[in-house]
């Protein structure tokens, strides 16, 4: 078989060039086609084609832009294509290079479409635990990339408040590719029979074009809607499998948050209307008592079951919900709290997944598995483990943790505030930020509300500090960054830490340490002054709510101090803008 040469030039699209090289390598291997590949950067060649390969070749494929070294190839037959052509239909590109096909007319073939034009139809879902910043930043990343590549796209955003711009069945039916960019579990049953690719929100925010290109190459067919739960299905993309325990935990947290918010605010309103003893039995029948009952015995009672149920759902789909929620209710009854709920969720989810893989029934009975057999057996296993093995020791651990946190004073409060506040600014919405946030939000259910104050104030400080820096040290920022300072201030006031990301991305070595320092100081001051916060979101907008914040003055002092420290450090470390 004739030897094929391929030279890929990335120029300013280095990520796409690497993807194109890998796509050519894999496609050639599948076809048993000998191929020699060279990846070239701006003016350099890291893996030049050997002279022997050039001598034995019959054709050369020139991909991308820049200096591809065409002078080496003499009279060899040549085909020139764009990187996007390789990423959308690599087989057609190879056929063209070998002279076995007409010019590329079906670049959508990689999406499972035949007879299509270059533009394909994409439907996408984005989701993060809180459904605020990363959800919409990922949506914008996908929309911008699809528009630049000439594809049609519709994006549904999902968060703790539900779905916005929901995809219709007609749009899904017409789509060539389903793209999921989520840090939480997403129900994929409605995409049965479609090519689906799943990744994280970070992938869509950082490189939307690369994500779409990878999805076109690696998307797999979604099983039919009546198929077994996804926990055992072979069609889960590698990107989704790699998410692991973190994604499952964040799914549980995202479903838990509305219960925490509603319950916390209702309890605060109960105190506002009925005084500090509004929930005492003697006040039964009053408005304050009713609000307290709804918040404490309604919303708060469901926090741990919701957390456990949706961790299990993320692992094993719908059959995991019942065992997970029942395990979570047992955890709450055993005083094991959110730690027990997390344990119950993972036990239930992985038990369902294990049983689903190993129980095989006649096809006429297969429908009983998700509604009867799996929930029953998994609930039995989870319940017995919670009662006899997990519940008591976890309850003891939680009681010790709760006692320590409630008794924090002086140095211990300062250190915890430093750590939690600093964690909020390290990656501004990434895993470290979310770990601190999820822990503090879960502790609210156990009556520990001080860590949430350090987390929220520490999370508000980065964008507020940068907004202040753009005013105090305008010469350190470009005109576009100065204009973005106003938006960062609004985002910071609403506790959307991601408003600092554009500034950090432009100068990470100077900006991120400044953000971490300011947030750590804000968190330390908040806990040292005894600030407590009963709701897990809202930023400055929760301060006027009676009793939602303990020591409002201390909270404002901490926020102002952290903001000023961040702004001064940014101004000191950043260089003048060109």
Say what angle helices 508-528 and 450-472 make with each other, to 10 degrees.
140
Residue 310 buriedness (CB in 10 A; 0-12 / 13-18 / 19+): buried
Own/partner long-range contacts of 45-48 (Cβ < 8 Å, ≥24 apart)? 45/69
- What token pair was written down for 570? 């940014």
Q: What is the DSSP letter of 543?
A: T
Residue 454 buriedness (CB in 10 A; 0-12 / 13-18 / 19+): buried
Q: Which helix (H) or strand (E) holds 493?
A: helix 479-493
Distance CA 478, CA 310 (A): 44
Distance CA 71, CA 52 (A): 16
- In the three-class reduction of DSSP (H, G, I as helix; E, B as strand; rest coil), residue 403 is classed as helix
Catalytic pick from 28, 122, 128, 491?
Answer: 128
Per the DSSP assignment, residues forming a β-bridge with 515 are none
- What token pair was written down for 123? 């439907």
Tokens 């106003």 belong to 486
- In the three-class reduction of DSSP (H, G, I as helix; E, B as strand; rest coil), residue 45 is classed as strand
Q: Who contacts 436 (Cβ-Cβ below 8 Å, separation ≥6)?
A: 420, 423, 424, 455, 458
Distance CA 474, CA 517 (A): 21
- What token pair was written down for 151? 């594809």
Task: Mark whether 238 is an active-site residue.
Answer: no
- What token pair was written down for 555? 């909270």
- What token pair was written down for 542? 């929760």
- What token pair was written down for 525? 């001051």
- In the three-class reduction of DSSP (H, G, I as helix; E, B as strand; rest coil), residue 394 is classed as helix
Q: Which sequence positions are flagged as catalytic?
A: 128
């Amino acid at each position: 078989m004739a030897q094929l040469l391929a030279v890929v030039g990335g120029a300013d699209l280095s990520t796409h060039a690497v993807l194109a090289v890998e796509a050519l390598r894999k496609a050639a291997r599948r076809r048993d086609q000998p191929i020699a590949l060279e990846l070239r950067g701006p003016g350099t060649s890291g893996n030049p084609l050997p002279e022997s390969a050039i001598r034995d070749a019959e054709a050369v494929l020139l991909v991308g832009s820049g200096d591809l070294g065409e002078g080496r190839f003499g009279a060899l037959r040549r085909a020139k294509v764009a990187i996007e052509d390789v990423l959308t239909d690599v087989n057609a590109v190879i056929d063209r290079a070998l002279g076995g096909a007409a010019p590329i007319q079906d670049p959508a073939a990689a999406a499972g479409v035949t007879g299509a034009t270059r533009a394909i139809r994409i439907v996408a879902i984005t989701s993060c635990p809180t459904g605020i910043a990363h959800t919409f930043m990922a949506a914008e990343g996908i929309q911008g990339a699809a528009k630049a590549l000439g594809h049609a796209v519709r994006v549904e955003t999902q968060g703790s408040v539900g779905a916005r711009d929901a995809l219709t069945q007609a749009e899904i039916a017409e789509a060539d590719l389903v793209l999921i960019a989520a840090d939480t579990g997403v129900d994929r049953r409605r995409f049965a029979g479609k090519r689906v690719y799943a990744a994280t929100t970070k992938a869509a925010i950082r490189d939307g074009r690369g994500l779409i290109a990878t999805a076109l190459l690696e998307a797999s067919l979604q099983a039919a809607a009546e198929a077994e739960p996804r926990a055992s299905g072979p069609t889960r993309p590698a990107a989704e499998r790699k998410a692991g325990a973190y994604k499952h935990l964040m799914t549980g947290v995202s479903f838990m948050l509305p219960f925490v918010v509603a319950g916390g605010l209702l309890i605060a309103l109960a105190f506002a209307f009925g005084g500090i003893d509004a929930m005492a039995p003697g006040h039964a029948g009053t408005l304050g008592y009713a609000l307290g009952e709804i918040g404490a015995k309604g919303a708060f009672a469901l926090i741990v079951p919701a957390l456990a149920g949706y961790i299990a759902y993320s692992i094993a789909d719908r059959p995991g919900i019942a065992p997970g929620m029942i395990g979570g209710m047992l955890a709450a009854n055993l005083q094991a709290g959110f730690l027990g709920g997390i344990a119950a969720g993972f036990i239930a989810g992985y038990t369902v997944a294990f049983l689903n893989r190993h129980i095989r029934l006649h096809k006429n009975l297969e429908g009983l598995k998700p509604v009867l057999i799996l929930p029953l057996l998994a609930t039995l296993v989870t319940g017995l483990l919670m009662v006899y093995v997990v519940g008591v020791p976890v309850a003891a651990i939680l009681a010790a943790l709760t006692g320590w946190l409630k008794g924090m004073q002086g140095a211990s409060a300062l250190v915890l505030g430093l750590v939690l506040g600093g964690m909020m600014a390290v990656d501004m919405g990434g895993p470290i930020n979310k770990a601190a946030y999820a822990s503090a939000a879960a502790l609210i259910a156990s009556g520990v509300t001080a860590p949430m104050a350090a987390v929220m104030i520490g999370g508000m400080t980065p964008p507020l500090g940068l907004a202040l820096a753009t005013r105090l040290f305008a010469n350190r920022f470009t005109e576009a960054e100065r204009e973005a300072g106003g938006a960062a201030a609004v985002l910071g006031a609403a506790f959307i830490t991601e408003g600092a990301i554009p500034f950090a991305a432009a100068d990470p070595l100077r900006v991120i340490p400044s953000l971490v320092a300011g947030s750590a100081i804000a968190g330390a001051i908040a806990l040292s002054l005894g600030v407590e916060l009963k709701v897990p979101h809202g930023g400055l907008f929760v301060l006027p709510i009676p009793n939602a914040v303990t020591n409002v003055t201390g909270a404002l002092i901490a926020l102002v101090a952290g903001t000023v420290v961040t702004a001064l450090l940014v101004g000191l470390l950043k260089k003048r803008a060109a």
